[in-house]
Amino acid sequence: MSKLKIFTEFEDLVQSLADLIKSYLRYFRIAAYEQVLNAVSVVLSRFILLLTILVSSMFFSIALAMYIGRLLIYPELGFMIVGIIYFLAGMLFIKYRDEIIVNPIIKDLNKIADRIENEILNDDEE
């Protein structure tokens, strides 16, 4: 009888362990899903913001070019001056792109990785 009891308890232990593993897998799947959704929402909101800025700057640029062209009497000069301004801005952007784009993205990814690591460590302590 004691062998049957030990075997039954061992089966219960294995079943409990399997349930625990399934629970951890479900938890990490949900946590990963949440992180992906957060990342997608950040990317989507930044894309919409960028699109809005681009469209509004396009209209502003056309208006500025027309205004400068009227001041100089030649509309083509207005568009050329605005084009030169954008060219110079693009060159500055290329020169400082690490400070403008790469470093903030790396900083954001490090924050996300640290938060995930802290969540995992806190879950292990419980």
Residue pLDDT, tens place only, 71-100: 999 989 999 999 999 999 999 988 988 887
Q: Is the pLDDT of residue 57 over 90?
A: yes
Confidence (pLDDT) at 96: 86
Confidence (pLDDT) at 125: 61
Confidence (pLDDT) at 126: 58
Comparing CA positions, the residue from 99, 97, 70, 68 lying closest to residue 82 is 68
Confidence (pLDDT) at 19: 85
Tokens 């990317």 correspond to 43
Comparing CA positions, the residue from 113, 121, 126 lying closest to residue 35 is 113
Kindly indicate the confidence band of residue 124, based on its pLDDT and cuts at 50, 70 and 90: low
CA–CA distance, 110 with 117 (Å, rounded to integer): 10
Confidence (pLDDT) at 11: 81
Give 1-53 pLDDT, tens digit per residue: 566 777 777 788 888 888 888 888 888 888 888 888 888 888 889 899 999 99
Confidence (pLDDT) at 113: 76
